[in-house]
Structure 1
Amino acid sequence: MASSKDDLRDPKFWRAVIGELIAMALFVMISIGSTIGWDKPHVPSMVQIALCFGLTIATMVQCFGHVSGANINPAVTCALLVTRKISAVRAFMYMIAQCVGAIAGAGLIYAVTPASVRGGLGVTSLGAGVSVEQGFAIEYLITFELVFTVFATIDANRKDLQGSASLAIGTSVTIGHLFAIQYTGASMNSARSFGPAVIMNSWQDHWIYWAGPVLGGITAGVVYEYLFSAKTTKDTISNCMLASKEVELVEEKVSTV
């Protein structure tokens, strides 16, 4: 992992920061656009919204993965920071870029959408009867699922990975939305909630969309990295085999006595 000083001196670092900003702006603009409630029969379905979010994030990961690692989510960035995969400066600048990009994306969709159909502009809110505790739990769990998928997909020690990493991540976003749209709006991404909240000046229960995703993401990163990563699994198997051989040797010595 590069140090913070190394990052600041590297032109590629600043290109990565800009990449995170642009990726987030495009993600929010396109995804939020799918939630706009046009006149019937053009009211968006839950499936339409879920597919738009999932396919958009898959596209952005494919486009910006080689530029910034395509975090496009403060929860992913925090998980990478805690597991020491990125520096503190990179994590900080990524999250600033993600928030600015989200505001820009929400502002763009606000500007190009007729006032009569803007509605809540995709502001995330709790479903009917959902308590703040339940909302927090839902955001924690669906972001855990997303970030666990990210870590499993980028595990350099795995030899069994096949297919598209970006599609796998996009699919995890899609299933999170299919499950949780009715509960919390299925944020899974603090910046995604932050952008529309700024543009619409809507902050009710907004803390849930920071605490839930960030804590869920960090938990997922730590659990995968130190319990389920290919390297950890390989080391565990090796230790078990070594212990087994030691037991066999002891048994052989005992049997010869």
Structure 2
Amino acid sequence: MPIRNIAIGRPEEATHPDTLKAGLAEFISTFIFVFAGSGSSIAYNKLTNDGPATPAGLISASIAHAFALFVAVSVGANISGGHVNPAVTFGAFVGGNITLLRGIVYVIAQLLGSIVASLLLTFVTGLGVPAFGLAAGVGIGNAVVLEIVLTFGLVYTVYATAVDPKKGSLGTIAPIAIGFIVGANILVGGAFSGASMNPAVTFGPAVVSWTWTNHWIYWVGPLVGGGLAGLIYEVLFINHSHEQLPTTDY
């Protein structure tokens, strides 16, 4: 069972050069993703004079996030694994594919990358970074379940195309598959909860705009969905076939 593969990690791991390099890669990848994704929303608001959301705007957001995540995962894959998302990191931890201490470094780097991207967007555009929020008529329970389901699909895709040791040549398309599922999920949930699937993506804009209404939804939903995906894929499809992380090297 994957529970035996879950590891806290040694204290030295948090400051190991490889961990710090991986953290820097996560910072840069998350910065790239948030700058392009949130930047596309700012551009839409400017072009429409803060007009109402439209199907064209939703499609544009979907494409921008899919392309940006494809790149962000690709540039970080060989260094950190290209998580770009605390929910992905948590899913990897639940499946025993990353230690807790290394995961914490990843999450901190992801959050900082999102904050810096949001600050720079505010500076270069002179406009506010839109914070995530629920659409009119969408209940809190509905939004939590939606974020759980959307993030489950995302992290399940990550496991199937990037984590599974039997992925073979499928691993070469992992970044584009991950980008595609995020783009598709935005088409599903963008009009309801904003389809975050990523606590870091919501955290940066929330800090910069200081908007925290229902912010907890964008942590609980993605972390539950990501954790379930990691646990289910590990138990049912990988189980004992993958190699344990070499944490004893630290």
* Identical counterparts, % of pairs: 34
Q: Superposed, which structure 2 residues align to 1:152-191 within 5 Å?
A: 152-154=160-162, 155-159=164-168, 161=170, 164-191=173-200
Post-superposition offset of 1:161: 2.4
Q: Superposed, which structure 2 residues align to 1:225-244 within 5 Å?
A: 225-229=234-238
Greater displacement, 42-51 / 149-158: 42-51
Q: Partners in 1 of 2:195 and 2:108 — Cα distance?
A: 22
If you compute each CA radius of gyration, which structure gives the higher value, 1 or 2?
A: 1
Q: 1:24 aligns with which of 15, 30, 40?
A: 30
Post-superposition offset of 1:45: 1.1
Q: 1:201 aligns with which of 205, 210, 213?
A: 210
Post-superposition offset of 1:27: 1.1
Q: Which residue of 1 aligns with 2:136?
A: 128
Q: Which residue of 1 aligns with 2:74?
A: 62
Post-superposition offset of 1:100: 1.0
Post-superposition offset of 1:93: 0.9
Secondary structure of 2:190's counterpart equals helix
Q: Partners in 2 of 1:51 and 1:230 — Cα distance?
A: 35
Post-superposition offset of 1:111: 0.8
Q: Partners in 2 of 1:99 and 1:162 — Cα distance?
A: 26
CA contact (8 A) 1:27 1:60 kept: yes
For structure 1, the residue ranges without an aligned partner over 5 or more in a row are 233-257
Task: Give the RMSD, CA atoms, in angstroms.
Answer: 2.1
Equivalent residue letter for 2:40: S
Q: 1:159 to 1:26 in 2, by over 3 A?
A: closer
Q: Partners in 2 of 1:129 and 1:8 — Cα distance?
A: 44
Secondary structure of 2:24's counterpart equals helix
Q: Partners in 1 of 2:211 and 2:154 — Cα distance?
A: 26
1:73 aligns with 2:59: no
Q: 1:24 to 1:203 in 2, by over 3 A?
A: same
1:210 aligns with 2:198: no
Runs of at least 4 residues off by over 6 Å: 41-44
Greater displacement, 193-202 / 22-31: 22-31
Q: Which residue of 2 aligns with 1:241?
A: none
CA contact (8 A) 2:114 2:203 kept: yes
Post-superposition offset of 1:11: 1.4
Secondary structure of 1:22's counterpart equals helix
For structure 2, the residue ranges without an aligned partner over 5 or more in a row are 242-250
Q: Which residue of 1 aligns with 2:40?
A: 34
Q: Partners in 2 of 1:65 and 1:163 — Cα distance?
A: 11
CA contact (8 A) 2:130 2:209 kept: no
Post-superposition offset of 1:5: 4.3
